[in-house]
Structure 1
Amino acid sequence: MTLSALALNCTLSPSPAGSSTQLMIDQVLAALKEHDVVGDTIRVVDHDVRPGVEKDMGDGDAWPPLRARLLAADIVLLATPTWVGHASSVAQRVLERLDAELSETDDEGRPILFGKVAAVAVVGNEDGAHKIVADMFQALNDVGFSVPAQGSVYWNGEAMSGVDYKDLDSTPEPVAATTRTLAANAAHLARLLRDAPYPATS
């Protein structure tokens, strides 16, 4: 059974600039493809996503069509660079916009994101990946996403070295192995949730 994945690239660099975050996304999507998951990517900074916590902030807000693509996906990969030890401001804005989904339910009364799986990818040449993953998983789980076992992958370069993930000659094997695990477990969990949804709320 084919599943779909949507990666939200939360780099601060607009297209067509190079992006270490995009490189890691491409690797995760390639690994997911091995499990019959078709993937797509949105570089969020290319769209005028307004600040706020509503589904549509009006006045040209670009979030509604991005939200529609997110709701159509079985797996959502939230990917961010590390800035001063934290996720990018773009990633934080995505989480803030997802807050609106807390009040959205399906026909059975379940939160609308209950059937979806979330994974996280982080790149950076400074520390902070573990804290970013923890913060993102907490927020994503709060709004209804399910998190697979070992559902994150990250790469931290040497602090202050100026070497980015996209500058590496090859992908470190621990990163590649973690990417494979993330993909396998995310696809497995998404299929379980499709076949056996969470029970309806009372």
Structure 2
Amino acid sequence: DILMGANRCLPSPAPRPSLSLHPGDEVALGDNVTLRCHTPRNGVQVIVYKEGDGNYRWQRDGARDTTEVLVRASTNKIAGRFRCRFETLAPTWATGWSDPVELVVLADSSFPPPALSLSPRGRVETGADVTISCRSPHGATFVLHKAGSLDPVQRVIAGTAATFTLRGVTPADAGTYGCSYRPHENPFVSSHPRAEVTLEVTTGGPSTPFHTPPPG
């Protein structure tokens, strides 16, 4: 398409590219992640970069409509927001940047695991409200995870503690939950969700308190 101006003709703006992370948006230290820039055409120059950090910028020949950059998470510094765009040489012009994607690095043992608790403990009846409390040594954003689910259950920005509420639970809510935190001063570095609690939901009858068995 052509846009007509008073003295020149310019190509109409091309659709912006999109950027995705594979296998996901969280990577452990030492592992690899692929930044995949999807463009509406091939035969272009593709640029992938990290916002605010000139040390992480790559340029590739986009021979196909998908261009990949393989990155090793050798340090926490790789964590952050990334974008991509593409350029053509004849005529010379560039698209706008893609929407950002956020790469989170799972920290090593320097980030102690959070403390996690469940209330009420033990089995609860369908329809009950359940709270999961999570504490960390840092003011942080807390993320509640459920085993078997790729997406976080809830996210809370707090001080050194956060409370997640599951209202009107059903048997579908039963399972193992974990919590991780991302310090305010480094929001793209996350603790591992090592602490876990298990929620059991019954279909009827009163809640059953949890009793710790006496030492044998």
- Same fold by TM-score greater than 0.5: no
Greater RCO, 1 or 2 (C-alpha within 8 Å, sep 6+)? 1
Counting strand residues as a fraction of each chain, which structure ranks higher? 2
Task: Provide TM-score, normalisation by structure 2.
Answer: 0.22
The structure where helix makes up a greater share of residues is 1
Instruction: Give the TM-score normalised by structure 1.
Output: 0.23
